[in-house]
Amino acid sequence: MKQFEGRVAVVTGAASGIGFSLASQFAAAGCGLVIADLESGPLDAAAVSLRREGAAVVAVPTDVSDSESVAALAEATESAFGRANILCNNAGVEGGEQFDRIPMATWEWVMAVDFWGVLHGCRSFLPLLRREEEAHIVNTGSLASFATGTPTMTPYVCAKFAVLALSESLEIELRAEDSPVRVSLLAPGPVRTRMTEAERNRPAHVPPTDASPARRQVLETLREATDASGHDPDEVAAMVLEAIREERFFVLPHPNEALAGLERRRLWMSENQPPPVRRPAAT
């Protein structure tokens, strides 16, 4: 897709972070926007900000874990613009503990948002996207799509692995049928967003998991890594737009770390050399 002027972009998780930066850059490139987020107040504020930039914006409160909510987002997009050219399945959460202490409700919440949300988006929007001469899906994975082993983050890692598998499979299938729809996987490492505060959106029935020493240590390490080497969300959004222009599947803001994760797996597979152990804090 060489040109964005006059196209329509849909972005979930758009009230802040990478999602807001994506929306802002699509707007600057001339796209109409449909922005979605679970947090209606910040979503409305994001819409006001984007309209000040001159963008045509429709804001739709959306729970991506709910297939009917995502279907309603697709309906709102068609009603407002009659089309969709770009879909960014970007909404995500993170919660966890040591494996045998992770409540089932936490597994269900993280998988529902991070994986099922992507699946719901692809299923609901493909009929719209297929009608266009050019269209693109961007699914937000993570460095965790390539590397396991971070203590307390197993639900997140499992979800992001699944996003990788879904995205690769869908891209291969669409190419095989000569579809105009392309797919990209965005796999960021540390980015200056509020991901370490994801439990602010934790449903009431999901127990908190951010109080244990192991969990606090992991979150603090992530914050330190973000402060030291985290990308600005605008940098990541610019990479996404460039990947759409170039029809590039992998969008890797931290390519060396992504390749290192694959190399650890290769060594494990070929030489029975497991990855180094990262031990959580004592509990």
Query: Which position has the token pair 């979930």?
Result: 12
Q: Which residues contact 77 (CB under 8 A, 6 or more apart)?
A: 8, 10, 34, 58, 60, 83, 84, 125, 128
Catalytic annotation, pick one of 119, 156, 193, 219: 156
Q: Strands (DSSP E) along 92-249, which ranges?
A: 135-140, 181-186
Please confirm, yes or no, whether 196 is among the known catalytic residues. no
- Distance separating alpha carbons of residues 26 and 38, to the nearest angstrom: 21
Tokens of 217: 């240590």
Tokens of 13: 């998780």
| Segment holding 264, helix H or strand E | helix 255-271
Task: Mark out the alpha helices in 13-153 (DSSP H runs).
Answer: 17-28, 40-52, 67-81, 104-111, 117-130
Provide the annotated active-site residues: 156
